[in-house]
Structure 1
Amino acid sequence: MDDHLNEGHIAPYPHAAAGWGALKHVALNLWRERVKATDFRMLLEQNQHGGFDCPGCAWPDREHASTFEFCENGVKAVAAEATSKRATPALFARYTVTQLLQQSDYELEQHGRLTTPLAYHAETDRYQPVSWDAAFQLIAGHLNSLDNPDRAAFYASGRASNEAAFLYQLFVRAYGTNNFPDCSNMCHEPTSRGLPQTVGVGKGTVTLDDFEHADTVLIFGQNPATNHPRMLGELRDCAKRGAVIVSINPLRERGLERFTSPQHASEMLTGASTRISSMFIQPRLSGDFALIKALAKRTLELDDWAAAAGRPRILDVAFIAEHTTGFDAFTADLRAEPWELLIAESGVARDRIEALAQVFVKGANIIATWGMGLTQHRNSVQAVTMLSNLMMMRGQIGRRGAGLCPVRGHSNVQGNRTVGIEEKPGGAFLDRLGQVFQFTPPRHHGHDVVATIEAMLAGDVKVFVGLGGNFAVAAPDTPRTFEALRRCDLTVHMATKLNRSHLVHGHDALILPVLGRTEIDLQDGVAQGVTVEDSMSMVHLSYGGNQPASPDLLSETAIVARMAEATLGKFPVDWRWYAADYSRIRDAIAQVFDAFYDYNERVAKPGGFHLGVASRDRRWNTASGRAQFIVNPLDLDTPLHRARALHGDKLMTLMTTRSHDQYNTTIYGMDDRYRGVFGTRRVVFANAADIAMLGFQDGDWVDLETAWEDGVPRRADRFRLVPYDIPRGCLAAYYPETNPLVPLDSVALGAGTPTSKSIPVLLRASA
């Protein structure tokens, strides 16, 4: 279906986030996915001890869980997995791949669960059933025929468990490469690369309990109501206690205005709601770094005045002296940065910056939390390190009720990285892995997502294996990514449901159907649990309870083991022995990573265990042994700056974003009710003044064209203009529809993450 034809309608949404609207859509999604009534009980097991971990977001669970530990979007994820719809071989006999490609992402999702391993046949342009043994032999044949292991790439989605991810990285390194493009490369990589420079670890420093003691919460680039709704429960409690919550985001999101908690009967029955944010700061796109630097500069000025007046210092001078290095160079850089540039680059007026600074300096216990709004820009690593600098100025790291809190998206994206899914592995990890398993892991760095696409385009990578995800649609520069995958000799995807990546295939291609998180995973007749790590470094155990969607499904762990055995035999381990009992894999993880000591015993306890984060205890795993202030100047000569100079006010900066009816690239429905969009996805949000300035009107249809310097045309056609509360010069639209506009070479410096939140574009009237 051509979803250009579905124009839908725009209508204000006057209600608070969640409330009865969320409950209505919980019921709607269970009905739409035709979830059997007997499976409704699974919701009472979601995020519970002995139950299953939500396959959606990575927000942590309370130690003492309530009866209902799920949210609207968690139900959507579970309903999609527990659906009674089936994508059987009959579907693929009915449609060619070319015909399936004409369907929308939503339609592909609605075909339901995959039931049978499938192989592509070029002569019929169809996927046809294939035996598991034949599938593994095909993979092994391709891998073993390559003249260099680096000619294969192994993608990992953050949905995979610790057990599957660890076995996967062991297989791939035993095979001989570190080519591990993963979903972290496309989201929080600037966090993973920035924080080690300052505090020595690429993770957050807080736990859920810290929110109970925080009096100030700064929220950068997040929309919790859509991306991790259970976070709103914590923010509600903070607001009820009187904590100051500040939303720092170009879009003024409904969920950060008011929230009606479905867990609190009084609010539901009376229609009451809780005000979440007391202040909204709206930087222009790509302005976060300048705003945070301006906030640091103002904090320094206030401290200067306090010191001169003999008043209590604003800065935590004791923390700075005892725990940090580089402070003098950092403050010298702050003093030298002109206010005019910081204001212009951030897009935030001086009085608003000063008001934000007043909140920051008055806070005793401050948590700074952020999402992809901070990490998908050219200067994202610099923004993350500057935010860390800012918090260190006031000693807000490594104590109760305060710290750094990056919020990951997918349920185990952080855990995958912890257990070794990393294209730039450290030497100590490789040494330990080699010692434990008696082989020599490759030492050279591998390809991340963008480098993998470039290597496929160049013909240097010929085999692509995907452990979950929807690589073709999640990646930037969609036409070039499609071309790259189609140049492969073999593409392999492990998945629960059909998606577009399966239809953008190599010469040979396999779709391997896997068990879902909600399903019973039997190995040798024994139910297996898998583990995940949430955004706050808590590791917990998950057991599915539903019957598998098909008797032909294998777990991701079993598929990895059989793929490894077909390719490597029993080198360096007996792969099937590990896959027969996942506790054996956990014991192996504990041998490689000290933080996982007594893994099986500790994870069996309700709530699991905390991995421990050195910087939380004010131990700094940096070269200096101290937390490090990092100096980063403003960069005034970027492609975005040059495009603005060339095109003037007509140049807009676009951010891609999710609708409320999607999770990552999975489209559950066509509504984005909190933003007032119903029945359509082809909308672009713009400031009303910009719409008028460009000569358009509310509701006009426009095409978007990237203003880039490589001469490659990039377009996304026919989007409806919707006036919205967004800064001048900024636009927002949904991905994956606008991913074709993201240039492949537009990445975060020092991280390689696509700059999906700062794309220079021009608008044209749609034909």
Structure 2
Amino acid sequence: MKKTEARIEPYTHPAAGWGALKYVAINLIKEKVTGGNYRTLFSQNQPDGFDCPGCAWPDREHASTFEFCENGVKAVAAEATSKRVTPAFFAQHTVSELMAQSDFELEQHGRLTDPLLYDALSDRYVPIAWDDAFALIARHLNALDDPDHAAFYTSGRASNEAAFLYQLFVRMFGTNNFPDCSNMCHEATSRGLPHTVGVGKGTVTLDDFEHADTLLLFGQNPATNHPRMLGELRECAKRGATIVSINPLKERGLERFASPQHPVEMLTMGSTKISSVFIRPKVGGDFALIKGVAKRVIELDDAALLTGTERVLDVEFIAEHTVGFDAFAADLRAENWASIVAESGVPMDDILQLADIYAKGRAVIATWGMGLTQHKNSVPTVQILSNLMMMRGNIGRRGAGLCPVRGHSNVQGDRTVGIEEQPTQEFLDRLGEVYDFEPPREHGLDVVNTIQAMLDGRVKVFIGLGGNFSIATPDTPRSWQAMRACDLTVHITTKLNRSHLVHGRDALILPTLGRTEIDWQRGVAQGVSVEDSMSMVHISYGMNKPASPNLLSEIAIVAGMAHATLGSGKVDWLSHANDYALIRDGIAQVIDGFHDYNERLKHPGGFHLGVASRDRVWKTPSGKAQFLVHAISVDTPIHRARAQHGERLLTLMTTRSHDQYNTTIYGLDDRYRGVYGQRRVLFANREDIDILGFEPGERVDITSVWDDGIERRVDGFLLVEYDIPRGCLGAYYPETNPLVPLSSIADGAGTPTSKSIPVLLTRALEVLAA
């Protein structure tokens, strides 16, 4: 295909619409999706089809109507591609040669077909038989002095069945070292909400969106990260709900949206206005903003008491269902408005407007993405948002509630079924009782601690169930150093990616079936299940012929590793790989909410797991929802760096382009932001550009400001004038992951602070040399 010309060109059209259809056609041609596989696109999220391997946005009962999603099509086209990476490909390319290719180029090679072993003498991957691969893994694991010297990563695309069998294998092996993609995205949600409402999940279903009159969208870009959400927001906007976008960037998808599902809108070149109000906090300013809204709600309620008008607080909900409100209210009254405005970056009038909208809403849903969760103060931010929603009883009410919007299609489900480095004792007790063993009790390693343990020589074996660990993680050079220090790295995957090239002394690539492919086990097609962002669990079956006859399912690979490592004295691993219903029976015995699992999956759309806080049952120590008090911090790494460097210090947030999903790069365009044919761009406010003495279109180098003496720098970024708050920058990851220090994490969650990196800019070195 002809390469897109590198250019910056403002995008003025609605999100989706004909532009989305055009890019779908481009991707189908690019991936060489062959003949019959086009029908795959019409079988996403259908009763007789498969679950989209993309985002975790839920479906309406797996309805029979076609629900178009551009990025879902990209994911399916990438998996259904006719391009293949065979052993002959690796015979022609050394690992060193492949390392020189971009992540986009690696993605374009296609589907892996055979298990592979790294050969150090030739610097190539060579074929290996499946049984020999499993035997090599078993030798390495069983040679370890301590089970904790291995770490087992999980991507959010793994099914419930694969994830449960994986955690059972690993815990029977003897460790809770489960770094997973949750550690890098919504961990603040998972760690923060249990202390306020008792459960680390959202409290809403799609039905609530039909009854909400107000929606507050924090730190999200649905048009790129979960496009099907825009269809739901369109319906809310059409019936008059107030939608507020709260984000440093004014994302095009939240301005106007043209729905490909609605022919009249497409044929008339029409569109729907989504957000009616845009609030623009500075990067990292959400906590102070939310606290300001809560303070104003208290002031409005105080005024209502004086005038004898309707209370703004839901005093009955607060009295019956919560504890800690008086301390929270006192803290709000004592908070300084000047500090709120300065730390949020939001003008006072905008804070008052947002508070007024919230106070008038009768049924409010608050949604959020990683714009809230990848900061040092992300746990307090999630908790104060929970406080705000409790102030007016907006939890456990129809049309209202908390809605964290997850990324990968089963990132929430994986955590539910046991991919958790900090398991509860209750879960371990049940697991040990059902499978007759004593699980390890010590908490394990998350992503950041796993990398540090590799660097320290404490983790020697790394096994990844999906994902692209070395690129998704922070502090890229140190992450690569850590991976290369391992005795063995194993990647279970569908396509080639960077992590397969950043390997241990021994290394395996184990190719697996994709979700779109028929999973035959002993002549019976098997289905796998996932849990979406709103706790709906449903099953799906692939329909495409596998990309290679030498592929195994994720479940079969896990079972093969477990059988080779542990034997099958206690668990008949291979029987579980032949019949996934046996795994679901085990899940039902171990985990609450999964009773009659196999039978309930037969219902179209599956079943809702149940979330206690949705029913106003609070699984907290007090038995009630808990208001928590947090101060606005003015002593953070960014504050200290700004005190040292003044206005030269800027705060960088990493973000996705529209042509990527997590670390998978489908193309080099980000059309909603007007970027074409390139990725090394840096979005900056024009005033900052002028103050620093640059011009738009110049190339700059970016350097982190951190206190550990390690230089972290990325070079040659195109400076693009953009509508972003003063003092803030935006750039794509993974290109800017090298700037995120390994020790810069969210307090109480361990999530890398990829949305708040203190940096300095200098004119690009090659420009200076010229």
TM-score normalised according to structure 2 size: 0.99
Query: Within 5 A, what are the aligned runs for 1:381-396?
Result: 381-396=379-394
1:667 matched residue in structure 2: 665
CA distance in 2, matches of 1:519, 1:578: 19
CA contact (8 A) 2:57 2:228 kept: yes
1:645 matched to 2:643? The reply is yes
Deviation string for 1:149-198 (max 9, x for gaps)? Answer: 00000000000000000000000000000000000000000000000000
Q: Secondary structure of 1:511's match?
A: strand
1:65 corresponds to? 63
Deviation track 1:55-85 (CA, whole Å, cap 9, x = no partner) reads: 0000000126143123000000000000000
Matched, 1:499 2:486: no
1:44 to 42, 46, 53: 42
Paired letter, 2:580: Y
Tell me the C-alpha RMSD between the 2 structures: 0.9
Aligned counterpart, 2:357: 359
Structure 1: tracts of 5 or more residues without a match: none
Deviation at 1:467, TM superposition (A): 0.1
Aligned match of 1:712: 710
Deviations 1:286-343 (A, max 9, x none): 1111111111011111111011110000000000000000001111111111111111
- Give the counterpart letter for 1:255 in structure 2: G
2:295 counterpart letter in structure 1 = K
Q: Quick one: distance in 1 between partners of 2:259 and 2:686?
A: 32
Q: Distance in 2 between matches of 1:145 and 1:276?
A: 58
Q: Deviations over 1:255-298 (max 9, x none)?
A: 00000000001100000100000000010011111111111011
Instruction: Please list the CA deviations of residues 600-632 of structure 1 after superposition, one character each: whole Å capped at 9, or x if unmatched.
Output: 111111010000000000000000000000111
Q: Distance in 2 between matches of 1:594 and 1:273?
A: 44
Q: For residue 636 of structure 1, report the CA deviation from its aligned partner.
A: 1.1
How far apart are 1:6 and its partner, in Å?
Answer: 9.4
> 1:68 aligns to what SS in structure 2?
coil
Partner of 1:627: 625
Deviates more, 1:363-372 or 1:35-44: 35-44
- SS of 1:595 mapped into structure 2: coil
- The structural deviation recorded for 1:15 is 0.4
- Structure 2, unpaired ranges of 5+: 766-770
User: Residue 157 of structure 1 is aligned with which of 148, 151, 155?
Assistant: 155
Report the 3-state secondary structure (helix = DSSP H, G, I; strand = E; otherwise coil) of the residue aligned with 2:529: strand
Find the aligned partners of 1:633 and 1:184 in 2 and give their Cα distance: 26
**Paired position in structure 1 for 2:176:** 178
- Answer whether contact 2:68 2:261 (CA < 8 A) is retained: no
- Native 8 Å contact 1:702 1:763 kept in 2: yes
1:12 aligns with 2:2: no
Distance in 1 of aligned mates of 2:643 and 2:752: 22
2:287 to 286, 289, 296: 289
Q: Residues of 1 paired with 2:444 and 2:183: CA distance? A: 12
Return closer, same or farther for 1:626/1:285 CA change in 2, 3 Å cut-off: same
Deviation for aligned residue 1:45: 1.1
SS of the equivalent of 1:341 reads helix
CA contact (8 A) 1:221 1:371 kept: yes
**2:268 alignment counterpart:** 270
Q: Is the CA contact (8 Å cut-off) linking 2:68 and 2:260 kept in structure 1? A: no
SS of aligned partner of 1:763: strand
Structure 2: how far apart are the matches of 1:646 and 1:714? 18
Task: Tell me by how many angstroms 1:572 deviates.
Answer: 2.8
- After superposition, where does 1:217-366 map in structure 2 within 5 Å? 217-366=215-364
**Mapped partners of 1:141, 1:655: distance in 2:** 43
| Aligned counterpart, 1:681 | 679
- Equivalences for residues 239-638 of structure 1 within 5 A: 239-638=237-636
1:596 aligned counterpart, secondary structure: coil
Contact 2:67/2:261, CA 8 A, preserved across alignment: no
Secondary structure at the residue paired with 1:153? strand
CA contact (8 A) 2:47 2:62 kept: no
Retained in 2: the 8 A contact 1:691–1:697? yes
Match of 1:737 in 2: 735
Could you tell me how far apart the structure 2 residues matched to 1:755 and 1:254 are?
Answer: 25
What does 1:94-113 align with in structure 2 at a 5 Å threshold? Answer: 94-113=92-111
The 1:6–1:49 alpha-carbon spacing in structure 2 relative to 1, beyond 3 Å, is closer
Partner SS, residue 644 of structure 1: helix
C-alpha distance in structure 1 between counterparts of 2:329 and 2:232, whole Å: 34
SS of 2:537's equivalent?
A: strand
2:185 alignment partner in structure 1 = 187
1:156–1:64 Cα change, 3 Å: closer
CA distance in 2, matches of 1:501, 1:184: 18
Question: Is this contact kept in 1: 2:282–2:725, CA < 8 A?
Answer: yes
How far apart, CA to CA, are the structure 2 residues paired with 1:404 and 1:186? Answer: 20
Preserved CA contact (<8 Å) 1:174 1:572? no
Any conservation in 1 of the 2:489–2:508 contact (CA below 8 Å)? yes
Q: Does 2:733 correspond to 1:756?
A: no
Maintained 8 Å contact 1:495/1:512:
yes
Q: Is the 8 A contact 2:698 2:719 kept in 1?
A: yes
Contact 1:48 1:69 in 2 (8 A): no
CA contact (8 A) 1:44 1:67 kept: no
What whole-Å deviation, never above 9, does each CA across 1:572-601 have from its counterpart, x for those lacking one?
A: 311011111001100110000120000011
How much identity, in percent, do the aligned residues show? 73
- Distance between the aligned counterparts of 1:370 and 1:571, measured in 2? 46
Distance 1:7 1:326 in 2: 58
Please state whether the residue corresponding to 2:441 is helix, strand or coil: coil
C-alpha separation between the residues in 2 aligned to 1:33 and 1:197? 46
Deviation at 1:7, TM superposition (A): 7.9
User: TM-score with structure 1 length normalisation?
Assistant: 0.99
What is the DSSP-based 3-state SS (H/G/I as helix, E as strand, rest coil) of the residue aligned with 2:593?
helix
Return the alpha-carbon distance in structure 2 between the equivalents of residues 381 and 642 of structure 1. 21
1:50 positional shift: 2.3
Residues paired across the two proteins, number: 763
SS at match of 1:445: coil
Contact preservation (8 Å) 1:174, 1:571: no
CA contact (8 A) 1:486 1:507 kept: yes
Verify the 8 A CA contact 1:116 1:512 in the aligned structure 2.
yes
Q: Deviations over 1:111-141 (max 9, x none)?
A: 0000000000111111000000110000000
Contact 2:47 2:64 in 1 (8 A): no
Conserved 8 A contact 2:15-2:258: yes
2: CA distance, partners of 1:496 / 1:129 = 16
AA at the equivalent of 1:662: Q
User: Where has structure 1 moved over 2 Å in runs of 4 or more?
Assistant: none
| Paired AA for residue 631 in structure 1 | V
Residue-by-residue CA offset, 1:197-240 (whole Å, 9 max, x unaligned): 00000000000000000000000000000000000000000000
Amino acid aligned to 1:648: G
- Larger mean CA deviation between 441-450 and 685-694 belongs to 685-694
Task: Report if aligned partners of 1:462, 1:489 keep a CA contact under 8 Å in 2.
Answer: yes
Cα displacement string for residues 686-709 of structure 1 (whole angstroms, at most 9, x for unaligned residues):
011111111011111000000111
Paired position in structure 1 for 2:768: none
**CA distance, structure 2, for counterparts of residue 403 and residue 66 of structure 1:** 28
